Amino acid sequence: MRRTVSIASVAVLASAMLASIAAAQNLAIVNARILDGKGGVIERGSVVVRDGKIVSVAAGAPAATAGLQAIDGQGRTLMPGFIDAHRHIAQGDPAEWLAKRAVPQMQEFLDAGFTTVLCAICPDQALELRQRIDAGAVKGPRLLLASIIPLARAAGAPGPGRGGDPARFDNSRPPRRPTEAAGAIPAADTIKAVEAVASKKYDYIKTVITTTPGGPETQTLKLIVTEGKKRNLPTITHAVSVIDTLAAVEAHPEVLVHTPHIGRLEEDANTVKKIASAGIPMTSTLAVFVPHFGDDNTPLFRDAMPFPWDTLSSAGQGPVNARLLWEAGISYGYGTDTSWSPKVSLADELRALSLVFSPRDISRILGQGAARSTLRQDLIGTIEPGKAADLVLVDGNPLANIDDLLKPVVTIKGGRIVSDARSVLVKGQRRQ
């Protein structure tokens, strides 16, 4: 059974999402292949948008177009606006990021077709950026923001010479897994931390679980989930091993972040069933452990440093576990957990997803699946009447060539055109 945020939370979010309705355009997108985000396809169809919402989806032309601005799809593919359900946006000094890099970065997302981005661990400056976007002062995707709360006292430091990206020395991966219990954090301190996150108006609590023998992690996560629910503040939990995913499922957070890529689910059908039957959406992030190749063909990790080959097994195990969980019925959504540019991150994640998922599967993962991984499936992620008009028109047919997803032409957010590359296209071909 799928869970959503409370009715009150959805109402507040819907009000905020449509607050800029005056800026929305009334549109008719015609002559387009429609991938609805749920696996459905209309080969030649139309979508009508009024006041920031989708009002009709049909095969052929719309019944009435009076007062509508027409967009001729020219046989291109219309999809729900892309959603990255797990992303890092602020790098380096947060104040400098907000002052110098945030605005062009937000446009990069729109130009790549992304209309919603969930920032996994955000500085308070991201709250300011979200406010500016919502007010119309900055153009950008819908920002959904999380703040982290620890589950236990830090248990030791990473191994020698392993500085930089923590995924390089992840203590969820043997032989670095802790062998002694981590220290507990007093319940009162955890409750205060939840209150602080809620008071700043973050959208989620982010937690990271690596269980220790006899440690407090699962109990603390249960407390955070409970206290978060009291404040309409859902919990998303980073769990990268099968062991830790099972521990997280016991606490029942609202979202599981990361496909478990440490541990072999093909050896344990009961564990697959237990994880999938919990009804908790999961976010992909498969490409973290797949080498990214630089312009000089150097294999790189997500921190742009040389790839750590001792993590390579996860590049295969993650997709295998993903497919097994998908077959068992888990809701699976697109997310990258990276800081590469949006289009580069999409290309990398598509390479990993394509190992075990078909193009039509991937269209669902990008649409309905990613929306569920942000807990916003009632508002975004599919093309159907009543949903927010977040749409992307891509040049080509992703069902025939998945890399056509890297060719966005028009991005529409809340019924407003926010990126338009039609002027650089000539007869369907991009100018060089």
DSSP for 218-253, written as a single string: HHHHHHHHHHHHHTT--EEEE--BHHHHHHHHHH--
351-361 pLDDT per residue, tens: 999 999 999 99
Is residue 395 situated within a structural domain?
no
**In this model, does residue 22 exceed pLDDT 70?**
no
Output b/e per residue, 197-206; b: 16+ Cβ within 10 A. Answer: bbeeebbbbb
Is residue 419 situated within a structural domain?
no
Write the Ramachandran bin of 55: left for phi over 0, alpha for psi from -120 to 50, otherwise beta: alpha
CB 77 within 8 A of CB 35: yes
Is residue 31 situated within a structural domain?
no
- DSSP string computed for 302-331: TTSSBP-GGGTHHHHHHHHHHHHHHHTT--
Contacts of residues 99-106 at CB distance under 8 Å and 24 or more positions apart, as own/partner, are 102/129, 102/138, 103/138, 103/140, 106/133, 106/138, 106/139, 106/140, 106/141
334-357 pLDDT per residue, tens: 999 998 999 999 999 999 999 999
Nearest residue to 259 (alpha-carbon basis) of 169, 349, 332, 309 = 332
Output b/e per residue, 42-74; b: 16+ Cβ within 10 A. Answer: beebbbbbbebbbeebeeeebeeeeebeebebe
In the chain, % of residues over pLDDT 70: 90
CB 291 within 8 A of CB 271: no
> Cα separation of 389 and 380, whole Å?
8
Nearest residue to 164 (alpha-carbon basis) of 259, 258, 302 = 302
> Cα separation of 37 and 253, whole Å?
25
**In this model, does residue 11 exceed pLDDT 60?**
no
Amino acid at 370: A
Could you count the other beta carbons within 10 Å of the beta carbon of residue 152? Answer: 22
Is residue 159 situated within a structural domain?
yes
Nearest residue to 357 (alpha-carbon basis) of 333, 390, 384 = 333
> Cα separation of 421 and 430, whole Å?
9
Segment 363-390 shows an average pLDDT of 98
> Phi and psi (nearest 5°) for 283?
-105, 140
- For residue 163, the model assigns a pLDDT of 53
207-264 pLDDT per residue, tens: 999 999 999 999 999 999 999 999 999 999 999 999 999 999 999 999 999 999 999 9
Is residue 58 situated within a structural domain?
no
Q: pTM value?
A: 0.91
The boundaries of the domain holding residue 142 are: 82-382
**In this model, does residue 52 exceed pLDDT 90?**
yes
Q: What is the CATH number of the domain that holds 298?
A: 3.20.20.140
CA of 137: how far to CAs of 13, 94, 103, 206, in Å?
19, 19, 10, 28
Is residue 23 situated within a structural domain?
no
Segment 11-35 shows an average pLDDT of 69
Could you count the other beta carbons within 10 Å of the beta carbon of residue 268? Answer: 15
Segment 94-100 shows an average pLDDT of 96
138-178 pLDDT per residue, tens: 999 999 999 999 999 975 444 444 457 889 989 999 999 99
> Cα separation of 403 and 405, whole Å?
5
> Phi and psi (nearest 5°) for 57?
-135, 125
**In this model, does residue 102 exceed pLDDT 80?**
yes
pLDDT mean across residues, the chain: 91
Nearest residue to 57 (alpha-carbon basis) of 81, 74, 40 = 40
Could you count the other beta carbons within 10 Å of the beta carbon of residue 79? Answer: 25
The residue length of the chain stands at 432
- For residue 161, the model assigns a pLDDT of 43
Token match 């039957």: residue? 277
Contacts of residues 287-291 at CB distance under 8 Å and 24 or more positions apart, as own/partner, are 287/336, 287/338, 287/345, 287/348, 287/349, 287/351, 287/352, 288/167, 288/314, 288/336, 288/337, 288/338, 289/167, 289/261, 289/314, 289/315, 289/318, 290/315, 290/348, 290/351, 290/352, 291/315
Report the domain count for the chain.
1
pLDDT confidence of 402, banded at 50, 70, 90?
very high
Is residue 401 situated within a structural domain?
no
- For residue 428, the model assigns a pLDDT of 47
Segment 1-7 shows an average pLDDT of 41
Is residue 151 situated within a structural domain?
yes
